[in-house]
Structure 1
Amino acid sequence: MKSHDIRKQFLQFFESKGHLIVPSAPIVLKDDPTLMFNNSGMAQFKEYFLGNAEPKSKRIADTQKCLRVSGKHNDLEDVGFDTYHHTMFEMLGNWSFGDYFKKDAINWAWELLTEVYKIPKENLYVSVFEGNPDENVPFDQEAWDIWKELIDEDRIILGNKKDNFWEMGDQGPCGPCSEIHVDLRSEEEKAKVSGKSLVNNDHPQVVEIWNNVFMEFNRKADGSLEKLPAQHVDTGMGFERLCMALQGKTSNYDTDVFTPLIEKVEQITGLNYTSNDVKNISEEQNKINIAIRVIVDHIRAVAFAIADGQLPSNTGAGYVIRRILRRAIRYGFTFLNTKEPFIYELVAVLSNQMGEFFPEIKSQQHLVTNVIREEEASFLRTLEQGLQLLENVVTETKGNEVSGAKVFELYDTFGFPKDLTALILKEKGFTYNEADFETELQKQKARSRAASEVTTDDWKILIDGNVETFVGYDQTENEVKITRIRKVDSKKDGVLYQIVLDATPFYPEGGGQVGDKGILVSANETIEIIDTKKENNLILHFAKQLPEKVEAGFVAKVNTDLRTSTSKNHSATHLMHLALRTILGTHVEQKGSLVHPNYLRFDFSHFSKVTDEEIRQVEAFVNQRIEEQLQLVEHRNIPIQQAMAQGAMALFGEKYGDTVRMIEFGNSKELCGGIHVKNTADIWHFKIISEGAVAAGIRRIEAITGDAVKDYYKNQENTLAELKETLKNPQDILKSVVSLQDDNAKLKKQIEQLLREKAKSLKGELASALQVINGIQFLAKQVDLNPEGAKDLAYELGNLGTNIFLVLATAEENKPMLTCYISKELVASHNLNAGQVVRELGKYIQGGGGGQPFFATAGGKNVGGIKEALERAVDYIK
């Protein structure tokens, strides 16, 4: 059975059981601060389990893209070495929100596996929760009794809390689970060892394929459990493992989920992958297999993350994506001998494979391909730099063990993988101190944990029920009651309080727009709201203190100055998006946005620099729309299909509901939940202040509106006035500046000529100052030249013989520079290296540098160190 059909049959089966089939949420999460990526099938439904929103159906089924590469669920280091762990995987799931429970969930799971997919019953084992007296959670007798009717009791396993009790996090809904495991071993192997003893023991052919979670409890901040008011079912079946079972394979990578990607890698590299059925392969072939598995796994994670809007970067989720891609590049570089970008070529294969179920990979194929190709090229250059840095470390090492701290520095600062470092060191006869490396790594992890450590109290409910609403589109001030509060203590922000209001005018951060600030005012006190965010469908107002009387009535007042400035920038963002698509082409799509009171930032897909003329055209386009005084047309809660039919722009990577809000300004139509001006005239004026590249195929524009533009022009005017005054108030300021530039160029030429003549005159003087030490003509001296003149002088003196060793120092504008020249014959015969010389002597001038073995330079900060540096130069030849 093809993977395409396996996925389709799962969805059709649960549709026949009354489930609503919903699409996968984006792999990158935008509105859940507790998760970086969607790491399970249930993540997009958290608000339903928490009771903060009503699901569109009590029964739902889907296939969800998941990514497990950070935090508690991190499979990255296992990927490639075994045959069943992945970074990105699909989770097939069926869900019940207060509807059916254990009996239906278990019976349907069994029916699908044994009657629809025809997996032999004798190949299956199931587990139920054994109970935990310490937490007052009983043995799951109900699940045991249901399974006993379907399967022999000797195939039912009791599982502990680690394996058979599922929790959303340290707090929140949780409950016992019942796993289903499949034994894929040969009959001969089954006869030797019972599959029951191999369940949950990391056997590659006895694997869990389905987990049925029965959410019965709520975990409180103190660790205690309380019964949930409604019981839920949350199931997840690993799609890749299911395909392995149904296609009769012993490795996920031997299924048609991965074989088209593997075949493409084989075609590009000329190397062969051997399936898991082939035994006794060589160590070299095993390394090739591991590398290919890493690459075909990682391309899926990286490609879908980029398609969902997460570009590789140096921080946060972007850094995780970059790290995954670099791991794949490194395996190709080391074990497949690929020195040029090639992984990007796999995107087309992935698009053909998965484009029907996940259309984003097809529509974003061009962008994803270009971003990955540029990232590959960049990291391959980094690998070359890392090799040079490693060479320097080896040169400076006494003995044959390199410092673990140095290896960690290469890893942490330059992204140079430790296993590649170890491989290269081994080839050179070196090792590194692994304990020291691990110490540095743990220090960094401790710093990272400390910075992100957060303690969250339970919610204190003041008004029960889902009464919270947002009224901020129509009001900036409103009478409110506090419905719930909790304390959050983090290393980063200290103690803050999260306050939920019954009818808030505060806009929560979202869609690129920052959250509102303002105050809560009662008869006796004023509480400052420093930020507003949304989490699991709750609007959270952050304050540094709680009101003395939380039960009192309050007036919530948004800071309207900040709100007004923000709304101008948000509306201008929409107009600019239309301008870019009109002027540059309809390939332009939003890839990121920040709407702040002071400025707006907009990332978009485009594959070349936006020219100055195009910038002027975009500004003119937006300002024309402002002058036209276009009225805001707002459509609230309209069906998404209707909005799209009317031409609304939807953003990839965003999660939309069945009904949406559409914002129109003339021809600009976008799905948007943000705050906007009532008329484009309110924006006053639009000005682009910068444009540049963010990643391959992604450009970034920063712009300002309103009062910020007024301030910008005022500053420009002041600068111009100061410039005129400096130039003695010429009639034509531009002509005056051009004249200055011409004069400056002439003077530079004259100075260069004078310095060349000075160097020539110095040549004779310094040639007579050369000393012969151990058969080497040596000179270490400070000269009154610029660094370029010192270089010319060094080469001139170097032409005098084949045994010259020079160190010249300069201090132009109080900036010390050392220049070292060594005859190539000396480099070969005496094992001298100019790069090493300047690195070591550079320490005296508080600097460093490098270069070639026969010529190198080093700059520094301490002019006073020149004397000692020159005195120590002779040590190299004594």
Structure 2
Amino acid sequence: MKSQDVRKQFLDFFESKGHLIVPSAPIVLKDDPTLMFNNSGMAQFKEYFLGLGTPKSQRIADTQKCLRVSGKHNDLEEVGIDTYHHTMFEMLGNWSFGDYFKKEAINWAWELLTKVYKIDKDILYVTVFEGSVEENVPFDQEAYDIWKTLIAEDRILLGNKKDNFWEMGDQGPCGPCSEIHVDIRSAEEKALVSGKDLVNNDHPHVVEIWNNVFMEFNRKADGSLEKLPAQHVDTGMGFERLCMVLQGVQSNYDTDVFTPLIREIETITGTKYTIKAKDEAEEKVNIAIRVIADHVRAVAFAIADGQLPSNTGAGYVIRRILRRAIRYGFTFLDTKEPFIYKLVETLSAQMSGSFPEIRTQKALCANVIREEESSFLRTLDQGLVLLDAVILNTSGTVIDGKKAFELYDTYGFPIDLTALILSEKGLELDEKGFQVQLQLQKERSRAASKVVAGDWNVVFEDDIQEFVGYDRLKHQVKIAKYRRVESVKEGEIFQLVFNATPFYGESGGQTGDKGYLEASNGDITYIIDTKKENNQTIHLTKSLPDNLTDNFTAIVDEKQRARTSSNHTATHLLQQGLLKVLGTHIEQKGSMVRNASLRFDFSHFAKVTEEELKEVENFVNARIRQSLPLIEKRAIPKEQAIEEGAIALFGEKYGDLVRMIKFGDSVELCGGTHVANTSEIWHFKIVSEGAVASGIRRIEAITSDAAKDFFESQLLSFYEIKEVLKNPQDPIKAIQGLQDENAALKKQLEALLKDKAKNMKTELAQEIQVINGMQFLAKQVDLNPDGAKDLAYELGNLGTNMFLVLATANEEKPLLTCYISKELVADKKLNAGAVVKELGKYIQGGGGGQPFFATAGGRNVAGIKEALEKAIDFVK
């Protein structure tokens, strides 16, 4: 059975059981600060389980793209090593929100597996929760009794809290679960060991394929459980594992989910994937191919959903996944040029029927991956040079774990590649020392991001929170609930939820409102930020009001809101301008709207020229001068808005009813705040344009008060420049004259310094010492950096065994210059880059270069003396 048919039969089956079929949510989460990625099928329905929203139907089914590479669900290092862990995977799920419960969920799961998919029930095992005295949760007798009517009792196993009690996180909805496991071993293997002994023991051919979670509890901050007001069903079936079973293979990678990618990797790299490796070398190739086939799916879908690789947060996770794939190809498939990006074409052809975003974003995905590959391959080349330097400066056969960690942490050089290279050279890595450094870093990271949230304290029950901020900035409110949150970053803060609010919660790229809460007696509580989480607006304060049951007036900072609204409307006009000036291929890839400025990321294949930027700027300012009024349509059907020309951003989560914003010909779906008329923006000014990633550009701009301040500052600078120039009639001509004069003086200075260096050569040649057959000199000279370089080469030409270290200190900026004759580099294995790196520590800096010539800059001039004294250690 083809994988497309497996997916279709699942959805058709649950549609026949009255379920609404919904599309997969994006793999990247935008409005849930507790998760970076959708890591389970239930993530997009979280607000319904928390009672903070109403689903379109009480019965829903879908296939959800999931990514598990961070937090407690971190399988990254197992991916490719075994045949059943993945970074990205599909979770087939059916959901009940307060509708059916255990009986229906279990019976339908069994019907689908054994009657529709026709899996032999004699290869299936099920588990039920054995209960927990500690949690005061009893054995799941109800689930057990249902299973007894479907399967032999000796195939019903009891599971502990770790395996059979599912939790959304440290707090929140949770409950016992009942899993279905499949045993696809051969008859000979089954005769040796019973499958029941291998369930939940990480056996590659006795695996869980379906989990039925029965959500009936809420985990509180103190760890205790309380009953939920309604019972829910949350199920998930691993699509890749199910395909393995139905296609009669022993590995997820042998299914048609992965074989097209594997065949393409074989073709591109000239390698061969073998189902059963005959030796270690073949298995290493197999692992590398599995890693690449898995990782390209995760990376491509993340990029398609709007997450570019970067150095922080979710972007860092995506970069880390891709770099793992690159290094496996580099190490075991001998790929020294980018090639993973070529797999996007195969992935698109294979999966775009179910996930059209991979087709529409295909070019972007390929371009970004290719650029990342090129960059990391350069990093690997640089890392090899740095590792050689570490080896050269190590006495003995064990390489210090701290130095290996520096290569890993600072330069991104993979530790497994370090270990492999050292092994090939007969050396050993101090793995314990590396792990110590890695653990210290993890502890620092955890400590810096630690957040402890208390339980919500209900002041009065109010399930519906109304947002009134489009129409007013001041509103009478009551506090519905609050909680205390402690974090390293912000200290103690309180989160408040009102029955209604004029405050806009951060979402859709727009930052949250600030303002204050005024009690009936006039006391003020400042709102320092506003967030949106799980469909509720949360207000952050440093303290709680004295009387929580009081009637309050919530007041938004009017000036900040006006500036933010001005910038948000400008982003709409900017996008319209880019489409007109650069072409219809432009797509928004992210934005940040603050009160001070705006940022807009978009797809484009080249740098935007100064002329194009000016044309875009003029386009936006023309719309500002036209005084275009805001035409707003709230709560209209999404299909109607699209028909009326509204631009919908891919990756955004839209409901059936949407808000449409129109300024002239600019029409977009948007939940943010806007000006009533474009004239309120006053002026639009682009302040920067540049690349974010391959095929992605970023424009930063200002409007309103910030634009006024910018022009006033520019005018003030102009007057100050004129004053410095003695108020010439033509300031530009005066500056050009100064530049010409400066260029002439610079040439004269360079000539004088060259003469000075030549004179120094004769004097310093007499100070050269011979140590261990090498001509050695370490000296501070009164030259600029270029002069020191010229002098080093002049002295270097005096012999073939020269080792020189020269120091300069221009404008209190120390610089070390090292020259080593190429003959010494070859014969003595000396390396100028390693020398300046070590000596650079004394001047509080560092640097690098080639084995025969390198420089290091620093901040501590006083350290020059000690650096020069230590230089002799390299030749002694």
Q: Same fold (TM over 0.5)?
A: yes
Q: Give the distance between the partners of 2:869 and 2:188, measured in 1 at CA.
A: 78
Q: Give the distance between the partners of 1:569 and 1:871, measured in 2 at CA.
A: 58
Cα 1:825/1:132, change in 2 over 3 Å = closer
Partner of residue 713, structure 2: 715
Q: Which amino acid aligns with 2:415?
A: K
**Cα deviation 1:483-542 (Å, max 9, x = unaligned):** 111111222211111111111111110111111111111122211111111111111111
Equivalent positions of 1:306-325 (< 5 A) are: 306-325=303-322
Deviation at 1:835, TM superposition (A): 3.9
Cα 1:873/1:15, change in 2 over 3 Å = closer
Deviation at 1:451, TM superposition (A): 1.9
- Is contact 2:825–2:852 with CA below 8 Å preserved after alignment? yes
Deviation at 1:827, TM superposition (A): 4.2
**Cα deviation 1:597-651 (Å, max 9, x = unaligned):** 0100111111111111111001100000001111101011111111111111111
Partner of residue 99, structure 1: 99
Q: Give the distance between the partners of 1:88 and 1:877, measured in 2 at CA.
A: 53
**Cα deviation 1:714-740 (Å, max 9, x = unaligned):** 000010001000000010011111111
Deviation at 1:127, TM superposition (A): 1.0
Please, which runs of 5 or more residues in structure 2 have no aligned partner? Answer: none
Match of 1:631 among 619, 629, 632: 629
Match of 1:488 among 485, 488, 509: 485
Partner of residue 574, structure 1: 572
Are residue 290 (structure 1) and residue 290 (structure 2) matched? no
Q: Give the distance between the partners of 2:182 and 2:829, measured in 1 at CA.
A: 64
Deviation at 1:225, TM superposition (A): 1.9
Q: Give the distance between the partners of 2:869 and 2:66, measured in 1 at CA.
A: 63
**Cα deviation 1:51-108 (Å, max 9, x = unaligned):** 1111110110000000000001111111011111100000000011111111111111
Q: Which amino acid aligns with 1:249?
A: V
Are residue 383 (structure 1) and residue 373 (structure 2) matched? no
SS at match of 1:791: helix
Deviation at 1:594, TM superposition (A): 0.6
Q: Which amino acid aligns with 1:370?
A: N
Cα 1:523/1:302, change in 2 over 3 Å = same
SS at match of 1:135: coil
Are residue 683 (structure 1) and residue 681 (structure 2) matched? yes
Partner of residue 74, structure 1: 74
Partner of residue 457, structure 2: 460
Equivalent positions of 1:193-342 (< 5 A) are: 193-275=193-275, 278=276, 281-342=278-339
Deviation at 1:396, TM superposition (A): 1.9
Partner of residue 813, structure 1: 811
Q: Give the distance between the partners of 1:128 and 1:55, measured in 2 at CA.
A: 28
Equivalent positions of 1:542-561 (< 5 A) are: 542-561=540-559
SS at match of 2:589: strand
Cα 1:827/1:388, change in 2 over 3 Å = closer
- Is contact 2:630–2:662 with CA below 8 Å preserved after alignment? yes
**Cα deviation 1:449-472 (Å, max 9, x = unaligned):** 222222222222222241311111
Cα 1:730/1:359, change in 2 over 3 Å = same
Please, which runs of 5 or more residues in structure 1 have no aligned partner? Answer: none
Match of 1:530 among 519, 528, 531: 528
Partner of residue 421, structure 2: 424
**Cα deviation 1:746-778 (Å, max 9, x = unaligned):** 111111122223333344444455555666555
Calculate the TM-score normalised by the size of structure 1: 0.97
SS at match of 2:553: strand
Match of 1:603 among 601, 604, 607: 601
Cα 1:416/1:827, change in 2 over 3 Å = closer
SS at match of 1:674: coil
Match of 2:794 among 796, 820, 832: 796
Q: Give the distance between the partners of 2:304 and 2:355, measured in 1 at CA.
A: 10
Partner of residue 130, structure 1: 130
**Cα deviation 1:348-382 (Å, max 9, x = unaligned):** 11111110111111100010110000000000001
Q: Which amino acid aligns with 1:598?
A: A
Q: Give the distance between the partners of 1:122 and 1:586, measured in 2 at CA.
A: 57
- Is contact 2:457–2:481 with CA below 8 Å preserved after alignment? yes
Q: Give the distance between the partners of 1:28 and 1:845, measured in 2 at CA.
A: 45
Partner of residue 53, structure 1: 53
Are residue 154 (structure 1) and residue 154 (structure 2) matched? yes
Partner of residue 42, structure 1: 42
**Cα deviation 1:189-228 (Å, max 9, x = unaligned):** 2223221221111111111100111111222222222222
Q: Give the distance between the partners of 2:244 and 2:661, measured in 1 at CA.
A: 47
After TM superposition, the structure 1 stretch with the greater mean CA deviation from structure 2, 290-299 or 848-857, is 848-857
Partner of residue 561, structure 2: 563
**Cα deviation 1:317-366 (Å, max 9, x = unaligned):** 00000000000001000000000000001111111111011111110001
- Is contact 2:304–2:357 with CA below 8 Å preserved after alignment? yes
Match of 1:448 among 445, 449, 454: 445
Q: Give the distance between the partners of 2:313 and 2:526, measured in 1 at CA.
A: 29
Q: Which amino acid aligns with 1:463?
A: F
After TM superposition, the structure 1 stretch with the greater mean CA deviation from structure 2, 537-546 or 319-328, is 537-546
Q: Which amino acid aligns with 2:562?
A: T
- Is contact 2:389–2:833 with CA below 8 Å preserved after alignment? no
Q: Give the distance between the partners of 1:834 and 1:84, measured in 2 at CA.
A: 48
Q: Give the distance between the partners of 1:173 and 1:115, measured in 2 at CA.
A: 32
- Is contact 2:462–2:499 with CA below 8 Å preserved after alignment? no
Q: Give the distance between the partners of 2:462 and 2:809, measured in 1 at CA.
A: 74
Match of 1:353 among 350, 355, 362: 350
- Is contact 2:392–2:829 with CA below 8 Å preserved after alignment? no
Q: Which amino acid aligns with 2:428?
A: T
Cα 1:545/1:824, change in 2 over 3 Å = closer
Q: Which amino acid aligns with 1:810?
A: T
Q: Which amino acid aligns with 2:486?
A: D
For the aligned residue pairs, the C-alpha RMSD in angstroms reads 1.7
Q: Give the distance between the partners of 1:571 and 1:330, measured in 2 at CA.
A: 44
**Cα deviation 1:815-858 (Å, max 9, x = unaligned):** 33333334334444555444444444444444444433433333
**Cα deviation 1:258-288 (Å, max 9, x = unaligned):** 000000000001100012xx3x611000000
Q: Give the distance between the partners of 1:66 and 1:469, measured in 2 at CA.
A: 32
**Cα deviation 1:110-146 (Å, max 9, x = unaligned):** 1111111010111111111111122111111111111
Q: Give the distance between the partners of 1:796 and 1:295, measured in 2 at CA.
A: 51
Q: Give the distance between the partners of 1:459 and 1:825, measured in 2 at CA.
A: 73
How many residue pairs get aligned? The number is 875
Cα 1:773/1:163, change in 2 over 3 Å = closer
Cα 1:288/1:552, change in 2 over 3 Å = same
Match of 1:660 among 658, 661, 672: 658
Deviation at 1:403, TM superposition (A): 1.4
Q: Which amino acid aligns with 2:62?
A: D
Cα 1:462/1:823, change in 2 over 3 Å = closer
**Cα deviation 1:566-615 (Å, max 9, x = unaligned):** 00000001000111111111111111111100100111111111111111
Deviation at 1:876, TM superposition (A): 5.0
Q: Which amino acid aligns with 2:300?
A: A
Calculate the TM-score normalised by the size of structure 2: 0.97
Cα 1:460/1:800, change in 2 over 3 Å = closer
Q: Give the distance between the partners of 2:829 and 2:452, measured in 1 at CA.
A: 59
Q: Which amino acid aligns with 2:455?
A: D
Match of 1:521 among 508, 518, 521: 518
Cα 1:167/1:820, change in 2 over 3 Å = closer
Q: Give the distance between the partners of 1:809 and 1:458, measured in 2 at CA.
A: 62
Q: Give the distance between the partners of 2:397 and 2:779, measured in 1 at CA.
A: 36
Q: Give the distance between the partners of 2:132 and 2:771, measured in 1 at CA.
A: 82
Partner of residue 697, structure 2: 699
Are residue 395 (structure 1) and residue 380 (structure 2) matched? no
Q: Give the distance between the partners of 1:10 and 1:775, measured in 2 at CA.
A: 79
